[in-house]
């Protein structure tokens, strides 16, 4: 699904008005009716006595609010209170028309002034229980392009402080801009639900704005299909239809070689679980063969827990004395980095890169000095290989930290390398950006300059491609906020790369499959109790939904 800017949405409105054709006031009526229908189904299905407080500005968003109030009244909702905030001396034409056709029974209409707005709202609050109140926010819409100050700011802050049952924003929570919000301290209404039109707003896809939007839903108002098909946007929302379009069903006549051989380079002493999780997720994602290069301390762990994978362990302890002491069961006093690097860390890059179709490195790798040398040698191998053929590579976790500490390694990354930083790893790589829009734009710029794909992990993970496209994920849940979840994502993407998916599609499809598996796991285990291994076990449900 395309994500349009506020300016593009206004063009879509204008195109629809001219080419459907339809009058502007009638398009507003159609949009408002969608809001009303949603409210009648979700809020008023059993209780028409709920009291509604509608707060309107004097622009088109305020016109939506007036129209919704009238439609609710016509549907039998009688306890409606209208508050109008005079934002300027000018009002929009459609706001004025909706004001004129309001039923006289909806009275009075309160004009919010500095001296009396708390008193007038307070009267209603004193006579009703908070859970019985519904607040509809139609003060500012997507046309807002300046910081909210003065009386409007006071009213938004006051509404946020009230113990009101449900807050619903029409199109956008007042104070929130559709894309970039450059005023971090300006007040923004905190909605429980946001009902927007035709496409999501870009601002909805930033984790920082979730406290303002609450749960958001897109309501189609029938904007002209010709415009929607032709308009270009770099931003896309990942949907089940998109996933079905790009998912490849297995061929009836095929063999393990048809689905690729991948190499996972992962693990260190105490962190072999990361390698296990990534490997299990890769095996559940359809690849044909998986090899794991891990330190010797993980060989028994991996071989016993992952019979489907092949294990290439690094050399064992250096020195006969260490081996003899170990066999006798004596305690070993070993300096891990100096005396036994090959046992506890990956320090040996002796693998044949030509055997594999895809690689992933970083899960549980550690950042010890020997591992840095190993990582650099691997990158040199892959860089050289990329000069003769495409190299499918995922860089995660400690490999990202090594990259942040040694920025000269950027130039060794093969084209279209996939990097999967969580927010702290992103800051180590690129610095601190408090504004999420600026963070996204910096990621887009960096992806283009370095020809890499950035998977910006979060509640709404974004996949940033070097050509400028950004794919946003809206699946997933808070049960996925647990250690090891990122390792499972690496495994899924690795599995898709091994099967020949392009890096862009592997990253986007992997992110969506990962999140949907998390939703299936939460349904079975609860968000509180789910583990990364539960997500892996529920990957089969994701693939079944795409196969059928």
Residue 201 lies in a domain: yes
Shared-domain flag, residues 191 and 317: no
- Determine the distance from the C-alpha atom of residue 472 to the mean position of all C-alpha atoms in its chain, rounded to a whole number: 5
Read off φ and ψ for residue 219, nearest 5 degrees. Answer: -110, 120
What CATH number does the domain containing 193 carry? 3.40.50.10260
Can you give the pTM of this predicted structure? 0.93
Sheet of 235-237: strand order equals: 235-237, 470-472, 462-464, 452-456, 417-419, 392-395, 358-361, 261-265, 289-294, 310-313
C-alpha to C-alpha distance for 208 and 203, rounded to whole angstroms: 9
Report, as ranges of residue numbers, the positions in the chain whose pLDDT lies below 70: 115, 314-342
Q: What is the pLDDT of residue 322?
A: 39
C-alpha to C-alpha distance for 175 and 355, rounded to whole angstroms: 55
Give the three-state DSSP class for 453. strand
What CATH number does the domain containing 412 carry? 3.40.1190.20
Shared-domain flag, residues 186 and 263: no
248's CB contacts (< 8 A; 6+ apart) are: 499, 501
Residue 2 per-residue DSSP state = B
Tell me the pLDDT tens digit for each residue of 137-196. 999 999 898 999 999 999 999 999 988 889 999 999 999 999 999 888 899 999 999 999
Shared-domain flag, residues 211 and 266: no
List the one residue out of 312, 321, 315, 270 whose CA is nearest residue 290: 312
122's CB contacts (< 8 A; 6+ apart) are: none
Count of alpha carbons within 13 angstroms of residue 78, beta-carbon side: 3
Percent of the residues in the chain that have a pLDDT greater than 90, as a whole number: 82
List the one residue out of 352, 334, 354, 353 whose CA is nearest residue 344: 334
Q: What is the pLDDT of residue 341?
A: 56
Shared-domain flag, residues 321 and 436: yes
Q: What is the pLDDT of residue 340?
A: 53
Shared-domain flag, residues 190 and 277: no
Give the three-state DSSP class for 396. coil
Q: Which helix (H) or strand (E) holds 454?
A: strand 452-456
Task: Determine contact, residues 173/190, Cβ cutoff 8 Å.
Answer: yes
Shared-domain flag, residues 153 and 267: no
Task: Determine contact, residues 81/52, Cβ cutoff 8 Å.
Answer: yes
Q: What is the pLDDT of residue 432?
A: 94
Q: What is the pLDDT of residue 330?
A: 44
Shared-domain flag, residues 272 and 367: yes
Question: From residue 88, how far is each of 84, 85, 226, 319 by CA, in Å?
Answer: 11, 9, 36, 83
Task: Determine contact, residues 92/65, Cβ cutoff 8 Å.
Answer: no
For the chain, the domain total comes to: 2
Phi-psi region of 237 (alpha: psi -120 to 50; beta: other; left: phi over 0): beta
Q: What share of the chain is helix, strand, coil (3-state, %, to 5)?
A: 50, 15, 40
Instruction: Cite the DSSP H helix spans in 451-502.
Output: 485-498
Look-up: residue for tokens 């053929």? 389
Residue 253 lies in a domain: no
List the one residue out of 40, 34, 32, 21 whose CA is nearest residue 98: 32
Question: From residue 228, how far is each of 135, 231, 311, 327, 353 by CA, in Å?
Answer: 32, 6, 50, 71, 45
Q: What is the pLDDT of residue 90?
A: 85
Q: Is 285 exposed, middle or buried (0-12, 13-18, 19+ CB in 10 A)?
A: buried
Q: What is the pLDDT of residue 342?
A: 62
C-alpha to C-alpha distance for 60 and 94, rounded to whole angstroms: 6
**What is the extent of the structural domain holding 358?**
241-248+258-547
Shared-domain flag, residues 301 and 222: no
Strands, DSSP E only, in 280-405?
289-294, 310-313, 358-361, 392-395
Shared-domain flag, residues 381 and 514: yes
Residue 1 lies in a domain: no
Read off φ and ψ for residue 317, nearest 5 degrees. Answer: -50, 145
C-alpha to C-alpha distance for 464 and 507, rounded to whole angstroms: 9
Shared-domain flag, residues 204 and 265: no
C-alpha to C-alpha distance for 159 and 156, rounded to whole angstroms: 5
How much is the CA Rg of the chain, to the nearest whole Å?
28
> 468: which 2 tokens?
């400028």
Shared-domain flag, residues 198 and 304: no
């Amino acid at each position: 699904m395309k994500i349009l800017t506020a300016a593009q949405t206004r063009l879509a409105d204008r195109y629809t008005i001219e080419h459907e054709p339809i009058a502007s006031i009638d398009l507003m009526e159609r949009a408002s009716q969608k809001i009303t229908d949603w409210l009648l189904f979700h809020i008023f299905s059993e209780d028409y006595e709920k009291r509604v407080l509608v707060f309107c500005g004097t622009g088109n968003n305020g016109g939506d609010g007036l129209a919704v109030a009238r439609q609710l009244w016509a549907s039998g909702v009688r306890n409606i209170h209208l508050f109008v905030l005079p934002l300027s001396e000018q009002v929009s034409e459609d706001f004025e028309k909706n004001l004129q056709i309001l039923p006289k029974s909806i009275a009075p209409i309160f004009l919010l002034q500095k001296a009396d707005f708390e008193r007038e709202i307070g009267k209603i609050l004193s006579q009703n229980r908070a859970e019985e109140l519904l607040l509809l926010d139609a003060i500012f819409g997507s046309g807002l392009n300046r910081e909210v100050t003065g009386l409007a700011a006071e009213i938004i802050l006051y509404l946020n402080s009230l113990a009101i049952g449900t807050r619903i924003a029409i199109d956008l929570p007042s104070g929130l801009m559709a894309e970039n919000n450059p005023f971090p301290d300006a007040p923004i209404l905190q909605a429980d639900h946001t009902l927007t039109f035709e496409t999501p707003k870009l601002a909805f896809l930033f984790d920082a704005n979730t406290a303002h939007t609450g749960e958001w839903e897109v309501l189609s108002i029938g904007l002209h299909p010709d415009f929607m098909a032709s308009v270009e946007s770099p931003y896309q929302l990942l949907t089940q239809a998109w996933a079905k379009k790009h998912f490849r069903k297995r061929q009836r006549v095929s063999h393990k070689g048809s689905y690729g051989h991948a190499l996972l380079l992962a693990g260190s002493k105490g962190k072999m679980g990361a390698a296990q999780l990534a490997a299990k997720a890769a095996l559940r994602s359809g690849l044909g063969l998986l090899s794991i290069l891990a330190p010797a301390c993980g060989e028994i762990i991996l071989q016993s827990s992952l019979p489907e994978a092949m294990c290439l362990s690094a050399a064992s302890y250096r020195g006969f004395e260490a081996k003899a002491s170990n066999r006798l069961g004596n305690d070993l006093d070993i300096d891990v980095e100096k005396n036994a690097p090959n046992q506890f860390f990956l320090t040996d890059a002796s693998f044949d890169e030509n055997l594999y179709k895809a690689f992933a490195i970083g899960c549980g790798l550690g950042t010890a000095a020997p591992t840095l040398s190993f990582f650099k040698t691997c990158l040199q191998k892959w860089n050289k290989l990329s000069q003769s053929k495409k190299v499918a590579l995922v860089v995660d976790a400690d490999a990202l930290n090594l990259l942040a500490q040694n920025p000269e390694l950027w130039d060794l990354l093969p084209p279209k390398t996939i990097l999967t930083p969580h927010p702290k790893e992103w800051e180590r790589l690129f610095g601190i950006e408090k504004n999420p829009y600026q963070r996204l734009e910096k990621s887009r710029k960096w992806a283009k300059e370095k020809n890499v794909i950035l998977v910006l992990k979060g509640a709404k993970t974004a996949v940033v491609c070097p050509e400028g496209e950004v794919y946003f994920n809206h699946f997933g849940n808070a049960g996925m906020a647990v250690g090891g979840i990122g390792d499972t994502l690496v495994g899924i993407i690795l599995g898709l790369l091994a099967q020949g998916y392009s890096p862009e599609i592997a990253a986007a499809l992997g992110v969506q499959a990962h999140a949907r598996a998390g939703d299936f796991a939460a349904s079975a285990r609860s968000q509180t109790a789910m583990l990364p291994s539960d997500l892996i076990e529920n990957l089969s449900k994701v693939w079944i939904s795409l196969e059928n």
